[in-house]
Amino acid sequence: MPTKPVYHDFHVHVGETIAGYRLRDSFADLNRLRQRDERPLGAIGVFVTEAAGITLKDKYMAMLHRAQRDYEGKVFWHLSPVQSTAEEVVPLLDAHSDIKLYSTYRNAGLYSSYEVIGRWMQALQGHETRILVHCEDDLTVQEYSAKHPFRHPHDHCLRRPELAEVRAVERVLDLAITHQHPVHIVHVSSPQSALLIKAAKQHFAGITCETAPHYLLFNEDKLKEPQAHRYICTPPFRSEKSRGILVELLQDGVFDILASDHCAFTEADKDRYRDEPEQVPCGIAGVETLYSSVYSALVETGKLSEAELDRLCRIKPAELMNMDELQD
């Protein structure tokens, strides 16, 4: 266990294959971040996405085995069912896991309608299991994607507008309040969705949310740079105005945690279809710099206190992962 204060990352994609691409990092790669001199990595929240040809349970057991072998810190698990039913998933849930659903990605087979999300809440009644939701309204994404062909990386911003996130967040918050079921909204990128979440928390204390450093530190101009395709991730970076307001909302304490949504692919995989942005695997790296990037940009400039960053990157994520004080 590191003797220095650690940071935890609640949202990490590691050690699995996504959309046909092997992720760049293994559990052993992340374990190296535990040995460094600056603030080391503590616990990680890792996704297990059900895939063709293997049950969610079998994939989870295989990843659990590799994590126990190669990662010395705590691993919390976010299980993403695709085919598995609630009867199959509920026995897998304990204090070290929760569920993740997507309101988009129909083509990848990950999509859950609002009705299905509501049904999961009903099925999990009495289990208190938090449901993480990737909120982008799929119909809105389809509508805007039809209007904006994917010719350049910046088109990603037009195809997946803030409106898509806002619409889905609104629906999912309604479901959480109706069913009084704990919900965590991942990678909030739009100030308007953050405000909806802030308001909904007044009605139901089981609502939490995160944003990622890249929505606080970058804007859509990054997707106009020469290597823009390497920055394609979902949701996309937003306008400078939205980025600025998101920082203000962070200062106001609207976000429960910061998490990286680390989803690194190899440079070769990211570059292979650089001229066909729709084929570029979606996701960017971030676990290594989750704490340090925000420290340099916001703490060193006096915009955020060190205590607040510690709350966002250590204290509160530890709570969400049901950790006790001594764990890392």
Using CB under 5 A, list all residues that contact Zn ion.
261
Residue 13 C-beta: closest distance to Zn ion, Å? 6
- Mode of pairing for the β-strands spanning 41-49 and 7-12: parallel
| Cβ distance to Zn ion smaller for residue 141 or 304 | 141
Nearest distance in Å: CB 271, Zn ion = 21
- Of 197, 207, 234, 198, which is closest to residue 110 (Cα–Cα)? 234
Residue nearest Zn ion, Cβ-based: 261
Nearer to Zn ion among residue 11 and residue 171 (C-beta): 11
How far apart are CB 263 and Zn ion at their closest, in Å?
6
Residue 136 or 261: the one with the smaller Cβ distance to Zn ion is 261
Q: Kindly state the smallest distance separating residue 160's Cβ from Zn ion, in Å.
A: 14
- Shortest CB 194 distance to Zn ion, Å: 18
Are 45 and 58 in contact by the 8 Å Cβ rule? The answer is no
d(CA 117, CA 133): 9
Q: Which residue, 209 or 304, is less far from Zn ion as judged by CB?
A: 209
Nearest residue (CB) to Zn ion, 82 versus 177: 82
Q: 10 or 295: whose CB is closer to Zn ion?
A: 10
The 3-state DSSP class for residue 75 equals strand
- 49 Cα distance to chain centroid: 13
How far apart, in whole angstroms, are the C-alpha atoms of residue 257 and residue 310? 10
CA distance 149 to 55: 35
303: which 2 tokens?
A: 């915009």
User: From the CB of residue 112, how many other CB atoms can be counted at a distance below 10 Å?
Assistant: 23
The enclosing H or E element of 119 equals helix 114-123
Instruction: Report how far residue 129's alpha carbon sits from residue 150's, in angstroms, rounded to the nearest whole number.
Output: 38
Beta carbon of residue 125, minimum distance to Zn ion (angstroms, whole number): 26
